[in-house]
């Protein structure tokens, strides 16, 4: 068959996958010096992760480009601490590496670390947890990916709450499952309702396998209370769903208390908790976290880990052990600046009426409703970056329910944050004033 004919055939077959895929295939083919027969494509499973569309990080990349060009930008986009990993943790890492812990480490995690995590989870959740119920993983993101691989087969439905952490739908699609959002409403403080989850299950023509929850929540800062969690737990039991509980912000609670859904009656057998050293211990770059769940599921996940990562570096695990042994007092120290900055944000927001804050109950962000400016989150974030040199994440990066909001990471020192928020509020006030003075458009 002639290359041109084959191209037409391949493109025609691919039309079923939608125009974006055809474009991608066409580009790969055109770029290859040997023409179609030599062209390589990557799997649908991978290209399908973002579907070729935006991954929600466009503004972040734009801000990083501006910084690289030497332009002054206050960057309040990603959840990265403004402090580095504590020197005591680095010393432990260094000593472990120099002491020879540089070979392959035990795939499910070194025994001491698994035991330390199990003890911590037992104390914090009140649910007796054994080391065999803990798998050490390379960060919370990998934990989420693995948890969906463990619970969903190809084509199964996997629910997540919108607004959501930007990687959620791609993580689910990467596992071959169908990512199904359930909107949580601004008027409910962005806490999901069991009835909406129920409706999403009823609307899916296939086998529903899992629900992904995140409390304290990124991006909204909501901390789910007992009543909401009880209803969701009851629903998971009745509908026989796995609950994947993303608790990477468990140590950053400013109002209320963190309740791990695994601790609710009957939930330990159907919950996979994803935890991380990133946020609570300022160890984002070390890539270390855990999955806690029923022993059989953890044993199956160990098999996945064997074929995926073959464990994580022993010196990183030793450092994580040292960090955990520093106790909750250390975590409170790491969290303290965010509590303080959240209070600064609350004070500035209370002094004006244009921008409304979603109650900042936990995590390291302020989630702001900027709809009174007449712009959506993207439009507002764009202007804030262009006109005032301040980079925040548009709400739309976190789903439909987050439209008209922006997320501000509280990750610069107090003075810079106060300045940046002042600029944000000034721009919002200017836009709202202009909007108020414009004649109302006549409707036909």
Ligand X SMILES: Cc1ncc(COP(=O)(O)O)c(C=O)c1O
Pick 144 or 268: Cβ nearer ligand X: 144
In angstroms, give the least distance from the CB of 285 to ligand X: 9
Closest contact distance (angstroms) between CB of 26 and ligand X is 34
Q: Which is nearer to ligand X, 39 or 147 (CB)?
A: 147
Task: Give the nearer residue to ligand X in terms of CB position, either 39 or 321.
Answer: 321
CB of 173 to ligand X, least distance (A): 16
For ligand X, give the closer residue by CB, 21 or 281: 281
Rounded to a whole number of angstroms, the minimum distance from the CB of residue 93 to ligand X is 17
Compare residues 140 and 399 and give the one whose CB is closer to ligand X.
140
The phi and psi torsions of 254 (rounded to 5 degrees) equal -105, -25
State the minimum distance, in angstroms, from the CB of residue 81 to ligand X. 11
Q: In what order do the strands lie in the sheet with 390-394?
A: 74-76, 390-394, 405-409, 365-369, 356-357
| 216 prior amide bond cis, ω within 30 | yes
Residue ranges that bind ligand X, judged by CB under 6 A:
79, 139-141, 165, 214, 218, 246, 248, 276, 278, 284, 289
Of 147, 84, 105, 88, the closest CA to residue 284 belongs to 84
How far is the CA of 419 from the CAs of 23, 77, 159, 204, 390, in angstroms? Answer: 44, 16, 39, 47, 10
CB of 151 to ligand X, least distance (A): 17
- Closest distance to ligand X from the beta carbon of 365 (Å): 9
Kindly tell me which of 323 and 428 has the beta carbon lying closer to ligand X: 323
13 Ramachandran zone, left/alpha/beta (phi>0; psi -120 to 50): alpha
Tell me how far, at minimum, the Cβ of 219 lies from ligand X, in Å: 8
Minimal distance, residue 394 CB to ligand X, in Å: 16
Query: By C-beta, is 342 or 371 nearer to ligand X?
Result: 342
Measured from each CB, the residue nearest to ligand X is: 140
- For residue 329, the Cα-to-chain-centroid distance in whole angstroms is 25
* Nearest residue (CB) to ligand X, 118 versus 147: 147
Nearest to ligand X of 276, 373 (CB atom): 276
Nearer to ligand X, 189 or 375 (CB): 189
**Taking the complex as a whole, how short is the minimal distance between the CB of residue 319 and ligand X, in angstroms?**
15
Q: Is 293 exposed, middle or buried (0-12, 13-18, 19+ CB in 10 A)?
A: buried
């Amino acid at each position: 068959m002639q290359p041109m004919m084959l191209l037409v055939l391949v493109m025609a077959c691919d039309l079923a996958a939608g125009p974006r895929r055809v474009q991608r295939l066409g580009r790969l083919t055109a770029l290859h010096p040997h023409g179609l027969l030599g062209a390589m494509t990557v799997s649908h499973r991978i290209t399908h992760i973002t579907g070729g569309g935006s991954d929600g990080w466009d503004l972040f990349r734009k801000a990083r480009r501006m910084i690289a060009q030497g332009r002054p930008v206050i960057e309040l986009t990603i959840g990265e601490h403004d402090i580095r990993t504590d020197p005591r943790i680095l010393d432990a890492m260094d000593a472990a590496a120099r002491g020879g812990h540089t070979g392959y480490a035990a795939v499910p995690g070194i025994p001491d670390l698994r035991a330390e995590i199990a003890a911590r989870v037992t104390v914090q959740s009140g649910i007796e947890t054994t080391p065999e119920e803990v798998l050490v993983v390379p960060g919370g993101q990998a934990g989420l990916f693995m948890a969906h691989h463990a619970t969903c087969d190809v084509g199964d439905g996997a629910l997540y709450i919108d607004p959501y952490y930007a990687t959620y739908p791609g993580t689910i699609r990467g596992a071959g499952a169908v990512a199904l959002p359930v909107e949580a409403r601004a008027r409910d403080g962005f806490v999901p309702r069991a009835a909406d989850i129920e409706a999403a299950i009823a609307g899916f023509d296939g086998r529903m396998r899992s629900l992904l929850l995140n409390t304290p929540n990124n991006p909204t800062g909501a901390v789910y209370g007992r009543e909401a969690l009880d209803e969701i737990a009851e629903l998971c039991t009745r509908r026989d769903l796995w609950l994947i509980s993303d608790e990477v912000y468990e140590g950053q609670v400013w109002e209320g208390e963190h309740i791990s859904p695994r601790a609710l009656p009957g939930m330990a057998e159907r919950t996979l908790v994803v935890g991380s050293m990133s946020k609570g211990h300022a160890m984002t770059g070390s890539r270390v976290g855990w999955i806690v769940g029923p022993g059989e599921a953890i044993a199956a996940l160990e098999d996945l880990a064997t074929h995926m990562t073959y464990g994580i570096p022993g010196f990183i695990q030793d450092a994580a052990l040292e960090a955990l042994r520093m106790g909750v007092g250390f975590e409170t120290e790491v969290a303290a600046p965010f509590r303080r900055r959240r209070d600064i944000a609350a004070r500035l927001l209370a002094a004006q009426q244009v921008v409304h804050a979603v109650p900042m109950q936990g995590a390291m962000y302020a989630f702001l409703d900027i709809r009174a400016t007449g712009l959506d989150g993207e439009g507002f974030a764009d202007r804030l970056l262009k006109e005032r040199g301040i980079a925040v994440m548009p709400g739309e990066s976190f789903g439909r329910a987050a439209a008209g909001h922006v997320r501000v990471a509280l990750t610069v020192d107090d003075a810079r944050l106060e300045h940046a928020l002042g600029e944000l509020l000034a721009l919002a006030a200017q836009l709202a004033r202009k909007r108020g003075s414009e004649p109302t458009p006549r409707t036909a």
